[in-house]
Amino acid sequence: MGIVYIPPNPPIPPSQQPTVSVYASVIEPKIANTLVRRLNQIAPLENLRHVKRVRKQCLDGGKMQLTVILCLACENGSLSGSMPKDIVELINSYQLSAFVTKVCKYAALSKEEWEEQCKLWPTSYHPPTYNIEGITGFSEEESQLIFSFMKLAIRLATSTNDQVVNAAVIVDPSSKQIIASACDQIHSWNTTVSKTSLEPGQLEQSAVFTSCLTPVVGAMLNGSAGRSKQLTDVSCLHPWHWPQPQLLASSSFFHPLRHAAMVAIESSAAGDRLLFPSNQDIRNQCSHEDDMQSVYSNSPAKRQKTVPLEVVDSEPVDNCSIIVGPEQVRPYLCTGYDIYLVWEPCAMCAMALVHQRIRRIFYALPNPNAGALGSVHRLQGEKSLNHHYAVFRILLPEEELMFGRREGNVYWYNCCENDK
C-alpha cells in the first residue's frame, strides 16, 4: 500500500527540463560585486529568479573561477545583434568574453530536479512550504487512517444493489468524523438513501474491515451482470454513457449528473444547514437542537471508546465539538475537509470539489477516459482557479480492490496491472 502525491504539474524527467539560452562570461572576482549590481539594473533576470546570477567553480589547483550571466540570448545563439547596448558597453569596458550557455527555464519542484539543474547552471531550490498536510509525506498513523477511509469508500462502491459504482466519503480530518458519504445515483437517485453522517461506530467497522469482498459483490461477480457491464455504471469513468440502454430494470428516476462526489457535496451542505441554521431559521434552533442531540450524540464518551482513531491525533480533541452548540464555528463549505473517491473524478466532479473548497482528494484508481486530476485534465494545476486542493492516489494491493483477478472486471484488472 502507498500514497502517491499527484502534483499540479505533470512530472518532467529531471534531465529533460526546458532550458533557455543566456550570455555569460568569466569574470575577475574583484569586479563581481560591482558588475552584478550593474547587471541587475540593466538586465534583470525577471522570469529566471531561480537561476543564480553567478556560478562559482573550483578549478584544478584550488583556484576559484566566477562566471556571470550577462543577459538572455536569443535562441539561435548568435553572439552579435541581439545583445542590449548597455551589455555590449559593459563587455567592452571590462574586457569580457561572452559565450552562450543554457540554464533551466523553471524553478525545480523537487530535490532531484534541482540536483539535475545545477549540473547545467546553479539554481536555487526552495522546498515547497505547503500548508496542506501530507504533500511531504504521511506518518504511519495518518496512512492507516487514510487507508481505512478508502476501504470504506470501496465498500460503499460495491454495496449498491448489484452494480459497481463510484463512491465518495467526505471526512473532517481534524475530528476524523465522516461528514457525508454517497454513491453514484445516476439511475436510482430517489431510491438510494444518502447519509449525511455515518454513525461513529461504522468507521471503526471499516477500519477493522480486512476484506472488502462483501457477499453482494461476490454474488454479482459470479453472475452475468458483473461480467457484461464492465464498469459502465461508474459515472465518472463513463459520464456520457447514461443514455445507453440499461441492462438493469432500474427505477424510473434517473439523473445523469448525480455522480458520487456531487451527491456527497449536496449531502454535506444539507448537514451544514441542519447543524447551523441560518439567521432566518434561528427561531427554530431550540427545537432543532433537541433533534440534533439525538442524531449526533452517540455520547462523546461512548464515541471515544469505540473509535480508537480519535486519540491518534496529537492535537487535543475537544469533546464539545462533537455536540452541536451555538458556540461551534460554522464551517465554510468543505474548507479543511478531505474526500475519498474510488475513481479519479471527471471534470464536473473535480471542479465541484474546487467550488466546495475541499482540502485534499484521495482516489484509488485512475480514470483514463475522463479523469480531471491528471489523466485527461489536471485541475489542481490550473493556476487561475481560486482554490487548489492537494491530490493523492492511494495504491492498494489487488486484494483490497476486491476483484482484480475476477474475469468479469477486465478494466479494473488492467488498471491494477498497468500501475505496476
Partner 1 sequence: MASASQVEEDLATAVAFMQLAIQQAKIAMDSLEVPVGCVIVEDGKVIASGRNRTTETRNATRHAEMEAIDVLLEQWQRTGISVAQVAEKFSNCILYVTCEPCIMCAAALSILGIKKVYYGCANDKFGGCGSILSLHSGSSEHQFSDEGSQRKGFTCTGGILASEAISLLRSFYEQGNPNAPKPHRQPVHQPGN
Residues in the site for partner 1, rule: CB under 8 A?
A: 232, 238-246, 252-257, 262, 265-266, 269, 272-273, 332-333, 335, 346-352, 354-357, 368-370, 372, 375-377, 379, 382, 384-387
DSSP string, 335-355: TT-EEEEEE--BHHHHHHHHH
* 52 vs 377, beta carbon nearer partner 1: 377
C-beta neighbour count of 9 within 10 angstroms: 10
H-helix or E-strand spanning residue 33: helix 32-42
Closest distance of CB 137 from partner 1, Å: 25
* Residue whose CB is less far from partner 1, 220 or 350: 350
The per-residue DSSP string of 172-187 comes to: ETTTTEEEEEEE--SS
> Rounded to the nearest whole angstrom, what is the least distance from the CB of residue 172 to partner 1 in the complex?
15
Smallest Cα–Cα separation from 70: which of 96, 47, 95? 96
Would you say 107 or 376 has its CB closer to partner 1?
376
Cβ 128 to partner 1, closest distance in Å?
19
Nearer to partner 1, 17 or 246 (CB): 246
Specify the 3-state DSSP secondary structure of 395: strand
In the complex, minimum distance from the CB of residue 347 to partner 1, in angstroms, rounded to a whole number: 4
Q: Which residues, 6 or more positions from 296, have their beta carbon under 8 angstroms from its beta carbon?
A: 197, 322, 323, 324
For partner 1, the closer CB: 157 or 379: 379
Q: Which helix (H) or strand (E) holds 361?
A: strand 360-365
Residue placing its CB nearer to partner 1 in the complex, 214 or 230? 230
* Whole-Å CA distances, 388 to 83, 341, 347, 380: 40, 17, 14, 6
Minimum CB distance to partner 1 smaller for 189 or for 209: 189
Q: Which is nearer to partner 1, 110 or 246 (CB)?
A: 246
At its nearest, how many Å lie between partner 1 and the CB of residue 245? 8
The SS3 of residue 410 is: helix
**357 backbone φψ class: left, alpha, beta (φ>0; ψ -120 to 50):** left
| Nearer Cβ to partner 1 (225/264) | 264
Q: How far is CA 407 from CA 7, 166, 173, 293, in A?
A: 33, 20, 37, 48
Residue (of 22, 143, 16) closest to 73 by Cα position: 22
- Spatial distance between the Cα atoms of 203 and 210, rounded to a whole number of angstroms: 13
Q: How far is the CB of 332 from partner 1 (least distance, A)?
A: 4
Q: Which is nearer to partner 1, 6 or 234 (CB)?
A: 234
Residue 332 · residue 160 · CB < 8 Å = no
In angstroms, give the least distance from the CB of 107 to partner 1.
Answer: 23
Angle between helical axes of 260-275 and 285-296 (0-180°, round to 10): 130
Least Å distance between CB 377 and partner 1? 6
Task: Return the H-helix or E-strand segment holding 36.
Answer: helix 32-42
For residue 356, the minimal CB distance to partner 1 (Å) is: 5
Q: How far is the CB of 268 from partner 1 (least distance, A)?
A: 8
| CB 372, min distance to partner 1, A | 8
- 191 versus 335: smaller Cβ distance to partner 1: 335
Distance, in Å, from the CA atom of 86 to the CA atom of 44, rounded to the nearest integer, reads: 12
**CA-to-CA distance for 154 and 343, rounded, in angstroms?**
10
Q: How many CB atoms lie within 10 A of CB 33?
A: 10
